[in-house]
Structure 1
Amino acid sequence: MPANPEGWLLTVARNRQRDVWKSAGYRRSVPLDTEDPPVEGVALLDDLDADAIPDRRLALLFVCAHPAVAAEARTPLMLQTVLGFDSSQVARAFAVSPAAMQQRLVRAKRRIRDARIPFVVPGRGALAERLPPVLEAIYGCHALTWREGTRSLAGEARYLAVTLATLLADEPEAWALAALTTLVAARNSPADTVFRPLDAQDPADWDPQLITEGEDYLRRAERPGSAPGRFQLEAAIHAVHCTRLTTGDTDWQALRTLYTALVAVAPTLGSRTAHAAVLGRTDSAEDGLCLLDRLPPERERFQPYYATRADLLARAGRFAEAAAAYDTAATLTDDPAVREFLRARGAAVRGSPRR
């Protein structure tokens, strides 16, 4: 049992800088410690060859998803110790204070040490129960980096998603996450330093080859007769947005239907905020604002909440409130391009006449 679990994970997962993460040699070079004693009462399956996992980060993600680690700490632990994000970045992704997230991570690492949780790759029979937090971690990496373009960590999130889906072959949510990250990558220009919201983007700048690839992954995720999962719904939402390349229009009613289903399956802060934004288009700005008002207190640390609220307030003609919301949203992002966009929007609505 490693005396310092965090140090062990950091040594294995980050022994090189992230700018060489994509090298094939690195993906196959970091060994896992398989000599640790098992936790009493936990059956460790050995029917999956660790060498079959083509990227050691994926193996480490499944290690961190051990059921003895508190459920609310598994994904944050993966984001910090395996994927290299600091606690403040992870806190922002979960809309909690950095201090609260740091405490959550410290408790998780203490639990690993005190319970002598083994650092071994689970057998195939245990993969299913560990898969959801692993998918969440890859999704979290995507959410934190999608603005960076396909040649950076956003590309790494997509690579991990596609690699995992290929490895598991028949897991619909894994293919759906691969579809989601690919469809977002299709709309991202690595050279574009100016932030443009989705409805302001020119579809001619999108990558049709990546859109086709993402749609293919989404088809692989389909299971006739089965209810779609969270990532299938999110990928379908991005697929609807991508149809603007061929139709020239956004099907807001389809998005309303998909977001209603998504909120029923996964009522996260993000999905509920996006649902409100779409309802503001299909119904009225006031209807969208009513949904935002029902969000929990965590919304106060969630930048998309304020950006969405600002947009809906502006659509409702409440320009002074909209400007204040844009200003708050700008303080909650570390992305200079997004901050500049939000400040510019705030300045624009501040000068708008009252209706």
Structure 2
Amino acid sequence: MEMSREDQARQFAETAARQSYGKLVALLAARTGDIARAEDALSLAFAAALAEWPKSGPPATPDAWLLAVARRKLIDETRSRQVRNLASDHLRLLAQEMEDAMEDVPDADIPDRRLALMFACAHPAIEARIRAPLILQTILGFDAAAIASAFLISPATMGQRLVRAKTKIATAKIPFRLPDTPELADRLDAVLEAIYSAFALGWADASGGDARLGNMAGEGIWLGELVAALMPTEPEALGLLALMLHAQARRPARRNESGDYVPLAAQDPALWDVTLIDRAEALLYRAGAMGRPGRYQLEAAVQSVHAARRISGETDWQAIEHLYDALWIVTASPVVALNRAVAQTQTRSVTQALAALDDLAHDPRMAAYQPYWAARADLCARSGDIAAADAAYQRAIGLESDPAVRRFLQKQQARLLRN
């Protein structure tokens, strides 16, 4: 069935949004110093595209079209504020500066200011816990609900924090530029966390069926490459890039020919991308030689141990457990504790591994965390507690949004009940 002009225009606008949202917001915000106003102007530009493109057809350079419209929206909005406040010399000056700044952006060659925006969002004046979520929203365009799920907090709380952070950037006049070298290191943690969160959101969509996520895994790797090139002597930047490359190397093996989910232990190592693995190993070696271990290097080392199975045919679970011990010391993260408990299913007794999971049961973040319930279901099944395993599988299935993973869990549950 042939698509209507309206549907074609909408699809074209959605593609432009996925590919260019962060790039355009970064440029507009760099010119205005106000992320919220830049986002509003770009939103109006996309609305204009949906109104105009069905009639005139998509432009040859959609990014330039959207940027031009968003620039004009910002200038018009500033002039309107000036008219409403005729006595304000400050606003008159702001209007002139805004117009001058906007008019000197070339339509045909849009510069990429995303990295500068990321470091602005990681400024010390911004509350530490909101820096990474703020980067995610401004660079990738995700709403508060999607970001909240990644950080295991409520959407309302996340939304309030994001609004406050954007207001802080505007009122404090935080510059949109790459900071000097001493400042770069201070802001690096938030930038790396946001990059990894972006990668994880895309990597979780193994089938590529979620249009919102698009190529987020590829975008995360691209941003990781950018930071690693900017800070080649920072081992954690190299470690993060190694971690993402190791994970990306396994993408072809995560679904079989029927589209069914294949857990890591059952994947065929011959399907893994050896070129990406070799790059990851080289980066991890460079980072390790600097003698400053950190979270991302340790996580990449875990993936390196898994990758070694393509050569040895076995997984060194003892090494993985030790790496998670070190990660727990560095992060005290409940997700790390969960992964350590999963590793202990291979190195210790089921009773010990289940006890480790029990220690996490009081953490409210685990209540809606699917991997926790999937791990509990598996361990309860191994211990012979069929009722508890069934209940945990039911909880995990209800929390899982990926149809392939949900089918996998349902098959596991059905096998449990048959036996």
Range into which the TM-score falls when normalised by the shorter chain:
0.7 to 0.9
**Residue deviations 1:283-327 (CA, integer Å, cap 9, x gap):** 022212222222222111222211221122122222221222122
Query: What residue identity is the alignment partner of 1:200?
Result: A
Contact 2:251 2:272 in 1 (8 A): yes
* Residue in structure 1 matched with residue 35 of structure 2 by the alignment: 5
Higher relative contact order (CA 8 A, sep 6+): 1
Size of the aligned set, in residue pairs, is 321
Query: What residue identity is the alignment partner of 1:253?
Result: Q
Counterpart check, 1:180 vs 2:243: yes
Counterpart check, 1:317 vs 2:384: yes
Contact 1:304 1:329 in 2 (8 A): yes
Which blocks of at least 5 consecutive residues in structure 1 are unaligned? 17-24, 34-53
Structure 1 runs of 4+ aligned residues shifted over 3 Å read: 1-4, 9-16, 113-121, 147-151, 190-193
Contact 2:321 2:340 in 1 (8 A): yes
* Residue in structure 2 matched with residue 196 of structure 1 by the alignment: 262
Counterpart check, 1:268 vs 2:298: no
Counterpart check, 1:161 vs 2:218: no
The structure-2 alpha-carbon separation of the partners of 1:131 and 1:9, relative to structure 1 and needing over 3 Å to count, comes to: farther
Q: Distance in 2 between matches of 1:270 and 1:177?
A: 17
| Greater C-alpha radius of gyration | 2
* Residue in structure 2 matched with residue 171 of structure 1 by the alignment: 234
**TM-score using structure 2 length:** 0.70
Q: Distance in 2 between matches of 1:15 and 1:143?
A: 29
Contact 1:186 1:208 in 2 (8 A): yes
- Computed over aligned residues only, the root mean square deviation of the Cα atoms, in angstroms, reads 2.9
Alignment of 1:96-175 (within 5 A): 96-148=153-205, 152-175=215-238
Contact 1:67 1:130 in 2 (8 A): yes
Q: Distance in 1 between matches of 2:343 and 2:319?
A: 10
Query: What residue identity is the alignment partner of 1:255?
Result: I
The structure-2 alpha-carbon separation of the partners of 1:8 and 1:121, relative to structure 1 and needing over 3 Å to count, comes to: farther
Q: 2:353 aligns with which of 266, 288, 300?
A: 288
Which blocks of at least 5 consecutive residues in structure 2 are unaligned? 1-30, 47-61, 72-110, 209-213
Q: Distance in 2 between matches of 1:251 and 1:312?
A: 20
* Residue in structure 2 matched with residue 19 of structure 1 by the alignment: none
Give the C-alpha shift of residue 217 in structure 1.
1.1
Q: Structure 1 vs Structure 2: percent identity of aligned residues? A: 45
**1:117 is paired with a residue of what secondary structure?**
coil
Counterpart check, 1:346 vs 2:403: no
Q: 1:207 aligns with which of 268, 273, 291?
A: 273
- Higher percent of residues as helix: 2
Give the C-alpha shift of residue 171 in structure 1.
0.7
Please identify, of 266-275 and 118-127, the stretch whose mean Cα deviation from structure 2 is larger: 118-127
**Residue deviations 1:168-210 (CA, integer Å, cap 9, x gap):** 1111000000100001111111893322111011111111111
Contact 2:34 2:169 in 1 (8 A): no
Q: Distance in 2 between matches of 1:3 and 1:147?
A: 33
The structure-2 alpha-carbon separation of the partners of 1:347 and 1:191, relative to structure 1 and needing over 3 Å to count, comes to: closer
**TM-score using structure 1 length:** 0.82
Q: Distance in 2 between matches of 1:146 and 1:111?
A: 32
Contact 1:91 1:97 in 2 (8 A): yes
